Amino acid sequence: MERILEKDRSQLKSFLFALVIVAIAFMLIFIAFGVDSVVPGIHDLFHDFRHSALGMPCH
Amino acid sequence: MDIDIKDWKKGIIAGLVAGTIWGWVALATNWVTGFFPLEESLLYELITFGIGGAVFGTVAAGFLVLTRQHLPFKHLLPKAIMLSTSLWLLLYFTGAWLSATDHERYHPVMDETIQGLALSVVMGGLIWIFWRRPVKAAQ
């Protein structure tokens, strides 16, 4: 019983960890392309970073 | 499918640290080259470049954890460089596609593009350095 609960907890931990990674990956997309429609203000917030560090096409 | 949390944690921490440092390296590089005239204060740039770099580094290191056993190199350094550069190319070509569809908003600048590509190679090197550090400490 204890072993089953432990396995469930481990799987939940893995799932939450995977969710965090996916969220960070989405954040990279929002930062790289300045997706204001999803995260308002992100375009201006990372404008210099987008140009200088990533060299992304921007206005 | 179970995830090896320890392996992931090691990779993500390496990416987070390498990425933050990479952001500041990018800021210093741009200050030297002057390719893009920065518009905000130094403190603001240090914070946003640090956060942006940490996000980029974490994703690159995440892909390294996930795919490193399947990549066609023996050593970790070329694997890390290949992944960080591929991730940058993926973002860049998506940006180029956006530029083709909406040129008023997105247009590429060659200087910044070359700087970004060179910095993505540096990112691979930094991930490699911070990936190896905890391994050395454990020995």
Using 50, 70 and 90 to split pLDDT, how confident is the model at B2? low
pLDDT value of residue A16 = 83
pLDDT value of residue B88 = 95
Model confidence over A14-38: pLDDT tens digits? 788 888 888 999 999 999 988 888 9
Find chain A residues with C-beta within 8 A of B117's C-beta: 55
Q: Go through B27-41 and write b for each residue having 16 or more CB atoms within 10 A of its CB, e for each that does not.
A: bebbeeeebbebeee
Model confidence over B45-88: pLDDT tens digits? 999 999 999 999 999 999 999 888 888 889 999 999 999 999 99
pLDDT value of residue B3 = 62
* Average pLDDT score, chain B: 89
- Partner-chain contact A14 B88, CB within 8 Å: no
- Partner-chain contact A48 B38, CB within 8 Å: yes
Instruction: Give Cα A42 to chain centroid, integer Å.
Output: 13
Q: For residue B66, report the phi and psi dihedrals to the nearest 5 degrees.
A: -70, -35
Of B49, B58, B106, the CB nearest to A24: B58
pLDDT value of residue A56 = 83
Query: What percent of chain B shows pLDDT beyond 70?
Result: 94
- Residue B60's domain comprises 5-138
Structure tokens at B10: 């090691």
pLDDT value of residue B138 = 42
Q: How far apart are CA B68 and CA B4, in angstroms?
A: 14
Using 50, 70 and 90 to split pLDDT, how confident is the model at B139? very low
Number of domains in chain B: 1
User: From B65, which residue of chain A is nearest by alpha-carbon distance?
Assistant: A21
**B95 close contact with A: CB closer than 8 A:** yes
**Which one of A26, A52, A58, A59 would you mutate to disrupt binding with B, by most B Cβ within 10 Å of its Cβ?**
A52
